[in-house]
Structure formats: C-alpha cells, structure tokens
C-alpha cells in the first residue's frame, strides 16, 4: 500500500459512499481525483493523503474517525427481507442496508448501557422451504401468534408497541424508494428482530400493515437461507405469504367476517376506523375469505380507483401514526441523566449526530439540544 492516511479502512469509504447514494464517479469529481483513485482507496490498494481524506469526509459528511476503523465480519453479514428486489430499487436497498448497519451499531452501543426488553417472539417448527408453507398454515399461525401475545379477537391495539414490547428493535426512517416500504431481519447472533418502516408514504394504516408484514417474515421465514431469496419465484412466494400473514394477523377471519354486514365501500370506510387497516387491504382480505364474489370485488376495486383511493384513502390524514419509542426512550434516559453527552456519543460511535438521529428515527436536532458534564458511569458487559 502506498503512503497516505494511516489506519485508513477502504471498506468504510465504500460504506459511507453507498450510504449517501453516491457513485464512484460523482465522489471522484467532487474531491478532484480520478475514479481509479477512489477504487484503489476502497480496495485498500492506496490510502488518501490527509488533504484528500479531509475532502472525502466533507463530501460524504462523515467524521474522519469513521474511516479509521475496519468493519468486522458482523458488520458485513445479514439476511434482510426487502419488499422489492427489482433493479430499480437496488441503489435504494444498498443505501438502506448501509444505514441499517449504522442502526445496529448504535443499538449495540446502547445495549452497553441499557437492558432492552427480552425477546418474546413465538417460534414454530416450520420448514426451510417456503413452498411447504400453505395458506391454511399461515392462517393458523397468525391466530396462534395473537393468542401467544394475548390479543383479543378484535383489532390489534398498537402493532408498534406490541413488537417493541416483545423485544423488537423498530424504527421509522426515510427509504426513498416507491417499492421499499419496509424491511426486516432476524439477527441470529442477538436472537432479536429488527424492523425498519419507511416514512416516505406515511399513514397509520400503511405503517401498521408494513409492521405486520415484516412480523410475518420474522415468524414464517426465519429458517429460509439467504440464497433461496435470490430466486425470483421463491422471493415472490415469501412476499405473498407475508402479505397473507399480515391480513390474517390484523383481520382474523371470524370477527372480521362478522363486521362485514354490507360490502359497499362506505362500509369499508367505517371498518377502517375500527380495525385501522386500509380499505385496499380489507378488500384483499374479503376476497381471500370468500366474503365477496370475484365480480363484486372487481366492481369495488374499480370504484376505489375511480374515487382516487388507490393513492390516498379516507381517514389517512386523521388516524395517528404509531411511533416507535424504545430507541428514542433509550437516548432520552442516557441524555436526561447525563450519563453521556452528544459529543461523547459521536466520538464513541464514529458516526455524525445527524446520521444517528436519522437511522434511529429521532427528531432532527434533538441530540444537539443536550449539553452538560459527562458523569463517568461504568459500562455493563454484554446487553
């Protein structure tokens, strides 16, 4: 390696560049070097001079210290359930993956100070092949999940609070892709699920459904190997199964059927206020359960489109969005008790405060508002 910035880690440059959605060419142009130079930096064939390192940090809005620690194998390995694997969302997926890695880094740091809720997710003896999981199985499992968590026959009161109370790490962040509404991962090393919900097309019912969809992956597909998801047919099937689970979990067959006294759209509007599920999702569920005929369903879908409700439905601006609180409250505790201060957080994590706020779903600028002396509390070992 040629001389340059000591301890520079090329993998961190690629990580930061991808997290910003930047190409090698655009980064090279912004700092005044060749594409080959950036490529060499990323592959540890050369390291940037101090001057170029400063330009890189400024261009990517990252602290220089971020680039001076090599990632671990744990930083680079994960099996994430994305809503879309299309080429159109590849850049958005890569960007989201990098920011998700930062979230996990923040959570690992938080767990040295705070004990998170014990994970209480039901486990089922399901096959590692999605093709062997049937629709009746999914209906039965969704019912058992509700029973495991003590959910009564009616609507789920608060999906976000339910998952956080069961030990999931759940945050809302901007994903910047039409087909990337949410994603999730079951972290084997931690035995803890992570669920990321998009804020791009925020509505209460969409968020609740997305969370339930990701719960479906965490329950049904924990054993499916990552290479299987690269198969287009398998990927399509696991998505269909997660949708079926979300419908069954949010709208249990018997009690939802009892509510559907009329099949007109206005009935679905009234039921939306009760069940906090979109009209579109209720139409799908009604068809799945044969509560409406195919002809009736087709007429309702046409009527829905004619009213413009495929884009925005009634009550979308009125129902409050469920906001995650576990990660936010963890920061509140540390900052209010002055166990740490913002400067210490940034220094220990090597990530800027804006990025920490962004990946954790915190209000922008909230970390800047906290100042005060650091009290030297010892860290706990483990989490």
Residues 6+ apart with CB under 8 A from 254: 153
- Reply yes or no on whether the pLDDT at 73 is more than 70: no
Mean pLDDT of the chain: 90
Lowest mean pLDDT among 134-143, 171-180, 261-270: 171-180
- Reply yes or no on whether the pLDDT at 375 is more than 70: no
- Reply yes or no on whether the pLDDT at 380 is more than 60: no
> To the nearest whole percent, how much of the chain has pLDDT over 90?
73
- Reply yes or no on whether the pLDDT at 87 is more than 70: no
- State whether the Cα torsion 254-259-264-266 is positive or negative: negative
For residue 3, what pLDDT band results from cuts at 50, 70 and 90?
Answer: low
- Reply yes or no on whether the pLDDT at 381 is more than 50: no
Identify the structural domains of the chain with CATH numbers, from first to last. Answer: 1-71 (1.10.260.40)
Residues 6+ apart with CB under 8 A from 288: 244, 247
For residue 307, what pLDDT band results from cuts at 50, 70 and 90?
Answer: very high
d(CA 353, CA 362): 10
Nearest to 118 by CA among 164, 154, 151: 164
For residue 76, what pLDDT band results from cuts at 50, 70 and 90?
Answer: low
d(CA 103, CA 78): 13
pLDDT for 379? 44
Answer yes or no: are the C-beta atoms of 241 and 133 closer than 8 Å: yes
Among all chains, which residue has been given the structure tokens 């142009």? 29
Tens-place pLDDT, residues 164-176 = 999 999 999 888 7
332: left (phi over 0), alpha (psi -120 to 50) or beta: alpha
3-class SS string, the chain:
CCCCCCCCCHHHHHHHHHHCCCCHHHHHHHHCCCHHHHHHHHCCCCCCCHHHHHHHHHHHCCCHHHHHCCCCHHHHCCCCEECCCCHHHHHHHHHHHHHHHHHHHHHHHHCCCCCCCCCCCCCCCCCCCHHHCCHHHHHHHHHHHHHHCCCCCCCCCCHHHHHHHCCCEEEEECCCCCCCCEEEEEECCCCEEEEEEECCCCCHHHHHHHHHHHHHHHHHCCCCCHHHHHCHHHHHHHHHHHHHHHHHHHCCHHHHHHHCCCCCHHHHHHHHHHHCCCHHHHHHHHHHCCCCCHHHHHHHHHHHHHCCCCCCCCCCCCCCCCCCCHHHHHHHHHHHCCCCCHHHHHHHHCCCHHHHHHHHCCCCCCCCCCCCCCCCCCCCCCC
Beta bridge pairs of residue 172: 197
Residue 278 token pair: 């979109």
For residue 377, what pLDDT band results from cuts at 50, 70 and 90?
Answer: very low
Among 133-142, 337-346, 363-372, the range with the most confident prediction by mean pLDDT is: 133-142
Lowest mean pLDDT among 68-72, 130-134, 227-231: 68-72
- Reply yes or no on whether the pLDDT at 378 is more than 70: no
- Reply yes or no on whether the pLDDT at 137 is more than 60: yes
pLDDT for 189? 85
Answer yes or no: are the C-beta atoms of 363 and 143 closer than 8 Å: no
Lowest mean pLDDT among 80-94, 127-141, 366-380: 366-380
- Reply yes or no on whether the pLDDT at 376 is more than 50: no
The 10 Å Cβ neighbour count of residue 154 is: 12
Mean pLDDT score, 8-21 = 95
- Reply yes or no on whether the pLDDT at 25 is more than 70: yes
């Amino acid at each position: 390696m040629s001389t340059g910035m000591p301890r520079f880690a090329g993998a961190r440059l690629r990580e930061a560049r991808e997290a910003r959605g930047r190409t090698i060419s655009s980064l090279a142009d912004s700092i005044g070097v060749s594409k080959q130079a950036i490529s060499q930096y990323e592959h540890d064939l050369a390291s940037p001079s101090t001057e170029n390192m400063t330009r890189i940090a400024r261009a990517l809005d990252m602290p220089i210290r971020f680039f001076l620690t090599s990632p671990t194998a744990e930083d680079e390995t994960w099996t994430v359930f994305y809503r879309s694997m299309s080429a159109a969302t590849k850049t958005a997926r890569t960007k989201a993956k990098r920011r998700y890695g930062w979230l996990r880094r923040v959570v690992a740091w938080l767990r040295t100070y705070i004990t998170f809720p014990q994970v209480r997710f039901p486990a089922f003896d399901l096959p590692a092949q999605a093709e062997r999981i049937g629709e009746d199985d999914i209906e039965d499992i969704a019912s058992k999940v509700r029973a495991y968590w003590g959910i009564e026959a009616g609507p789920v009161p608060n999906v976000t609070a339910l998952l956080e109370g069961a030990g999931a790490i759940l945050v809302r962040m901007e994903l910047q892709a039409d087909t990337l509404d949410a994603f999730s991962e079951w972290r084997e090393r931690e035995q803890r699920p992570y669920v990321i919900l998009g804020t791009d097309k925020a509505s209460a019912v969409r968020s609740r459904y997305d969370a339930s969809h990701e719960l479906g992956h965490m329950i049904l597909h924990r054993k499916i190997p990552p290479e299987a998801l690269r198969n287009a047919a398998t990927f399509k099937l696991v998505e269909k199964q997660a949708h079926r689970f979300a419908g069954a979990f949010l709208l249990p067959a018997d009690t939802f059927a009892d509510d559907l006294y009329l099949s007109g759209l206005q009935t679905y509007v009234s039921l939306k206020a009760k069940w906090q599920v979109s009209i579109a999702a209720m139409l799908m569920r009604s068809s799945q359960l044969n509560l409406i005929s195919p002809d009736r369903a087709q007429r309702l879908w046409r009527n829905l489109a004619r009213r413009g409700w495929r884009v925005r439905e009634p009550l979308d601006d009125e129902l409050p969005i469920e906001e995650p609180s576990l990660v936010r409250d963890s920061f509140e505790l540390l900052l209010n008790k002055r166990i740490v201060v913002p400067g210490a957080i940034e220094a220990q994590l090597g990530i800027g405060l804006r990025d920490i706020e962004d990946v954790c779903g915190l209000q922008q600028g909230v970390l800047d508002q906290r100042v005060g002396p650091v009290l030297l509390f010892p860290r706990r070992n483990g989490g």
